[in-house]
């Protein structure tokens, strides 16, 4: 106050002039304070270090994002992604799948975004807009998913029939068809079978080196049924697989007794009956 008084005295200001001068000083000080930015509070954000992911339709496109609440209050963020037709999305945090999350003021939360595409989805680059919306924030992030194609296998028979009959102690050839049903070529396809105990199954060919999209390969499964196999229905599962895809086909085999075994059985019964008759005739008179 002594400073303003001295200025007033030297300049000849009185009363009203002193008030105006004080008011001007306060306004200047206020403007100076307003120009100092507040760096103590960060802005809210939705960020990901990796926004571009390349994969095939059979795999999951996974993005690790960080949701930051820069406001002074807790915020409940609704999570959403605009995915194209044929795609699905899941948001996960702390080991659980969620559709919304609560973030404390000044805190961050890690959110995993998982995208999946159907096998028939067109291979190209897709832009996926993602939003996290609360009462005070509307955060946006655009992810890129580069779909390279899809892997797919099918294993069946030329007619679609998955059952047949076989005689015990014999060998049966079963014709199979392996088909690439997707958009990417398949390499090193192996063939295997899960058959009943003591049955033997081999394949011709035993391995397919390359199968292009929408192409098929004929395979013969050679099934050998052991002798004295009990008549009835048995199930064998054929499998074609490589590192990218697997296909199974369940085949039902009805085992029948051979004609020779039947005649042998009849002969044994006849001999038994004849032996009993002989014994009765020989010793029954005594």
Give the model's pLDDT for residue 142: 98
* Buried residues in 3-35 as b, exposed as e (16+ CB within 10 A): eeeeebeeeebeeeebeeeeeeeeeeeeeeeee
| pLDDT higher than 50, residue 75 | yes
pLDDT-based confidence at residue 271 (cuts at 50, 70, 90): confident
- Which stretch of 30-44, 128-142, 149-163 has the lowest confidence by average pLDDT? 30-44
- Element holding 187 (H helix, E strand): strand 186-194
Give the model's pLDDT for residue 285: 54
Give the model's pLDDT for residue 38: 43
The residue assigned the tokens 């054929």 is 238
| pLDDT higher than 70, residue 229 | yes
| pLDDT higher than 60, residue 35 | no
Q: How far apart are the first and last CA of the chain?
A: 155
- Supply the mean pLDDT for the chain: 85
Question: What SS3 class is residue 159?
Answer: coil
- Residues 106 and 70: beta-carbon distance below 8 Å: yes
pLDDT tens digit string along 234-252?
999 999 999 999 999 999 9
The predicted model gives 25-34 an average pLDDT of: 45
| pLDDT higher than 90, residue 24 | no
| pLDDT higher than 90, residue 273 | no
Tell which residue, 199, 153, 196, has the closest CA to residue 177: 153
**Bridge partner residues of 178 (DSSP):** 155, 217
pLDDT-based confidence at residue 258 (cuts at 50, 70, 90): low
Domains in the chain, start-ordered, CATH in brackets? Answer: 45-147 (2.60.40.10), 153-257 (2.60.40.10)
Give the model's pLDDT for residue 283: 72
pLDDT tens digit string along 170-225?
999 999 999 999 889 999 999 999 999 999 999 999 999 999 999 999 999 999 99
Tell which residue, 40, 92, 100, has the closest CA to residue 71: 40
Give the model's pLDDT for residue 257: 83
Give me the sheet containing 216-224, strands edge to edge: 153-156, 171-180, 216-224, 200-204
pLDDT-based confidence at residue 4 (cuts at 50, 70, 90): very low
Cα 40 to Cα 30, 73, 110: the distances in Å are: 20, 15, 22
Q: What is the C-alpha radius of gyration for the chain, rounded to an integer number of angstroms?
A: 41
């Amino acid at each position: 106050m002594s400073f303003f008084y001295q200025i007033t005295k030297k300049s000849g200001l009185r009363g009203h002039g002193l008030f105006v001068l004080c008011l001007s000083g306060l306004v200047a000080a206020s403007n100076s304070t307003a120009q100092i930015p507040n760096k103590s509070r960060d802005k809210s954000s939705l960020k990901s270090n990796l926004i571009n992911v390349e994969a095939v339709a059979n795999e999951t496109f996974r993005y690790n994002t960080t949701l930051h609440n820069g406001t002074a209050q807790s915020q409940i963020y609704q999570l959403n992604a605009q995915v194209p037709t044929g795609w699905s999305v899941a948001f996960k945090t702390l080991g659980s799948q969620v559709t919304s999350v609560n973030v404390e003021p000044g805190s961050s939360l890690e959110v995993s975004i998982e995208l999946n595409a159907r096998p028939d989805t067109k291979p190209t680059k897709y832009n996926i807009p993602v939003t996290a919306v609360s009462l005070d924030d509307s955060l946006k992030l655009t992810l890129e998913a580069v779909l390279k194609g899809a892997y797919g296998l099918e294993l069946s028979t030329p007619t679609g029939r998955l059952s047949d009959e076989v005689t015990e102690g014999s060998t049966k050839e079963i014709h199979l068809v392996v088909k690439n049903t997707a958009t990417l070529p398949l390499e090193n396809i192996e063939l295997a079978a899960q058959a009943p105990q003591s049955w033997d199954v081999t394949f011709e060919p035993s391995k397919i080196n390359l199968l292009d999209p929408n192409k098929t390969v004929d395979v013969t499964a050679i099934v050998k049924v052991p002798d004295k196999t009990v008549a009835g229905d048995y199930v064998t599962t054929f499998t074609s697989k490589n590192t990218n895809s697997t296909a199974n086909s369940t085949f039902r085999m009805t085992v029948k007794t051979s004609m020779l075994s039947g005649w042998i059985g009849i002969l044994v019964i006849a001999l038994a009956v004849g032996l009993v008759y002989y014994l009765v005739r020989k010793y029954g008179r005594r």
